[in-house]
Amino acid sequence: MASLNTQSRKLARKQQIRPLAGSLLALAIGLGVATAHADDALPKLSTKTPLKVGFAQTESNNPWRLAETKSFKDIAAKCGWQVVMTDANGSNSKQVSDIQSMIAQHVDLLVFPPREEKPLAPIVLQAKKAGIPVILVDRDVDQSVAKAGRDYITFIGSDFIDQGHRAADWLVKATNGKAKIIELEGTTGASAANDRKKGFDEVIAKNPGMTIIASQSGDFARDKGRQVMETLLQAHPDVTAVYAHNDEMALGAIAAIKAAGKQPGKDIQIVTIDGTKGGLDAIAAGELGASVQSSPFFGPLACDVAQRFAKGEKIPTWVKVSDRFYDKSNVQQSMQYGY
Ligand code: AHR
């Protein structure tokens, strides 16, 4: 489902500018000018076993997070990892302090999904300073603070902008290009929410019959999604479609729509992202229109990347995960992929 050979457009652009950046750095060093990131070398990773690996989870409030954590538990023995796990319970500051304590314990490798792009970027630099290599999974950090390939090994994850494009393309077709849409956003400040919004909004902006009438965060949580949808339904009774940034919020929205006496999938078309078991069941029941898969199974990929990196292989700055797509045409034969 993912390839280390997959080169992102970002990487291609980066490689194009690398010779220029390299000569500027050489010139700066030659002139004795201090540069902010003169030491671009990543910390080395030991090939010893067991390797002490810190996995700092953001929260455990939905099936996606549980599947992600499980994929690390499942790979640990096979990969020769002794994993230290923490759960930040939905708090950026707890995730930062969890990682700080892993740095203090001298783990050999840090792997984590940064809850939000900006608050979790400086800790990547702290880990680098402490000589601990980092792999980011699922979500990325602010590249103006910490850069993949320079400050951490790589980002392993989906193309969230593309997920937004795919969700919007489906909705345009399902509504014949005419809809009044409520958008339920994920955690504010998370790369998953920022990019899923960007991708979806880009496609909608090109379709004059499609309007986003309200857009609000439901924090990627089912009950918050239900509450936000309840309020927005009262303010916008003319809504004909919902785009939720994850399945859990879509399932919350379905409950709110039913409670308001409307039929999800008929009166209101719904499209979402994740491909959880609950999402696939809702598609089979005709209540959810489609879900773009967002794979949470990063354990084996992180193991592979770590082993290659330890052997000295060059790792691309983005190990892109490719995702499936589910709607009524393939949901029955896709149930095995739900989690
Ligand atoms: O970052 C990925 C998103 O975070 C998943 O879509 C969601 O379910 C999770 O909480």
Mutation test of ligand 1: which of 69, 115, 138, 184 has the most ligand atoms closer than 8 Å to its C-beta? 138
Displacement of CA 300 from its chain's centroid (Å):
17
Distance CA 170, CA 57 (A): 32
Sign of the torsion formed by the C-alpha atoms of 117, 121, 127 and 133: positive
Q: 270: CA distance to ligand 1 center in Å?
A: 17
Q: Chain-wide mean pLDDT for the chain?
A: 91
Tokens coding 174: 């399902």
- Does the Cβ of 167 fall within 6 Å of ligand 1? no
Q: Write down the H helix ranges in 136-246.
A: 160-174, 191-205, 222-235
Q: Is the peptide bond before 50 cis (omega within 30 degrees of 0)?
A: yes
Cβ–Cβ contacts within 10 Å for residue 218, how many? 28
Structure tokens at 217: 């965060």
Q: How confident is the model at residue 120 (pLDDT cuts 50, 70, 90)?
A: very high
Dist CA 84 CA 329 (whole Å): 42
Average pLDDT for 303-318: 98
Nearest to 46 by CA among 77, 80, 76, 3: 80
Distance from residue 19's CA to the centre of ligand 1 (Å): 37
Reduced to 3 states (helix: H, G, I; strand: E, B; else coil), residue 195 is: helix
Cα distance between residue 301 and residue 136, in whole Å: 11
The per-residue pLDDT for range 79-111, each reduced to its tens digit, is 999 999 999 999 999 999 999 999 999 999 999
pLDDT, average across residues 309-321: 97
Judge if the beta carbon of residue 192 lies within 6 A of ligand 1.
Answer: yes
Indicate the helix (H) or strand (E) that contains 54: strand 51-57
pLDDT at 14 over 80: no
Q: Mean pLDDT, to the nearest integer, of 220-238?
A: 98
Length of the chain in terms of residues written: 339
SS3 216: strand
CA of 65 to the centre of ligand 1 (A): 7
Helix or strand (DSSP H, E) at 122: helix 121-129
What DSSP letter does each residue of 260-312 carry, written as one string? TT--BTTTBEEEEEE--HHHHHHHHTTS--EEEE-----HHHHHHHHHHHHTT
pLDDT number for residue 39? 67
- DSSP letter (8 states) at residue 115: S
What crossing angle do the helices spanning 247-259 and 222-235 adopt, rounded to 10°? 50
Per-residue tokens: 22? 């390299």
How does DSSP classify residue 335? G
Name the residue at shortest CA distance from atom 10 of ligand 1: 220
**Separation between Cα atoms, residue 138 and residue 190, nearest integer Å:** 10
For ligand 1, the distance from its centroid to the CA atom of residue 7, given in whole angstroms, is 23
- The pTM for the full model equals 0.89
Asked if 65 contacts 224 with a C-beta cutoff of 8 angstroms, the reply is no
183-226 pLDDT, tens digit each:
999 999 999 999 999 999 999 999 999 999 999 999 999 999 99
The whole-number pLDDT of residue 3 equals: 43
**Of the candidates 144, 135, 65, 146, which has an alpha carbon nearest to the alpha carbon of residue 107?**
135
As a whole number of Å, the end-to-end CA separation of the chain is 16
What are 271-285's pLDDT values in tens digits? Answer: 999 999 999 999 999
Q: Which of 319, 268, 282 is nearest to 1 (CA)?
A: 319
**What percent of the chain has a predicted confidence (pLDDT) above 90?**
88
pLDDT of residue 40: 78
- Of residues 47 and 5, more confidence is placed in 47
- Count of beta carbons in the 10 Å neighbourhood of residue 196: 31
Measured between alpha carbons, how far is 136 from 59 in angstroms, rounded to an integer? 16
Contact criterion met (CB below 8 Å) for 135 and 127: no
Of 294, 295, 324, 339, which is best to mutate to test ligand 1, by the most ligand atoms within 8 angstroms of its C-beta? 294
Cβ neighbours of 325 (radius 10 Å): 17
Chain CA centroid to CA 78, Å: 25
pLDDT of residue 7: 43
pLDDT higher than threshold 50 for residue 29: no
Question: Angle at the Cα of 280 (from 275 to 284), degrees rounded to 5?
Answer: 155
Angle subtended at Cα 171 by Cα 230 and Cα 257, rounded to the nearest 5 degrees = 20
Q: Which atom of ligand 1 is nearest to the CA of 276?
A: 8
140 CB near ligand 1 (under 6 Å): no
pLDDT digit string, tens, across residues 245-256: 999 999 999 999
Q: Is the Cβ atom of 246 under 6 angstroms away from ligand 1?
A: yes
